[in-house]
Chain A
Amino acid sequence: NAGVTQTPKFRVLKTGQSMTLLCAQDMNHEYMYWYRQDPGMGLRLIHYSVGEGTTAKGEVPDGYNVSRLKKQNFLLGLESAAPSQTSVYFCASSYGGPGLAGDNEQFFGPGTRLTVL
């Protein structure tokens, strides 16, 4: 069981470049999330998905797009990177949503450190 994996681990982009971050989970989880973590800001939700083929906006969605074509994968895209998107990006997955009783623990990946110059 690999859990939640993220690709790549590190990346440096120039302003205006695009890239896709890949998240994969092997726990058959329905819910998947993308967060960003910045010093002094904590974890902020970018986008999330409640099942294959679904996506929804989180707290800070501007400048990002996502897709969930397969249940095990959740992609985060940056179409035109900006220095303000320099951050550590975490993907997470859970069986149920955070507001539901039962098995709703979010499992996090190791993170992707992105620098936009």
Chain B
Amino acid sequence: KAGVTQTPRYLIKTRGQQVTLSCSPISGHRSVSWYQQTPGQGLQFLFEYFSETQRNKGNFPGRFSGRQFSNSRSEMNVSTLELGDSALYLCASNSRGSNTGELFFGEGSRLTVL
């Protein structure tokens, strides 16, 4: 069974640009959540999608957005990049429709903003 796949794995952008990250969950998993990981703030919840609907949102500015497609693949977008957006962005999928069960994380997309 294939795991959670995130692309791209590494990318470098400059301030003001935008970026789109992609996540393919484990087959059959309908919940996809996104986390930002930085050395200073640790793992912070961005948002979660289930059956193409955003169910939960963390405390991030509106520059951070996401969506989920009918095949459960998800994308997140960050517009007007700032230096502080440099981080590892992790996607996690879950087979459960309610309550947080085991999260299966991808290896992440490491974003560097110059």
Specify whether A and B are partners: no
List A residues at the B interface (Cβ < 8 Å): none
List B residues at the A interface (Cβ < 8 Å): none
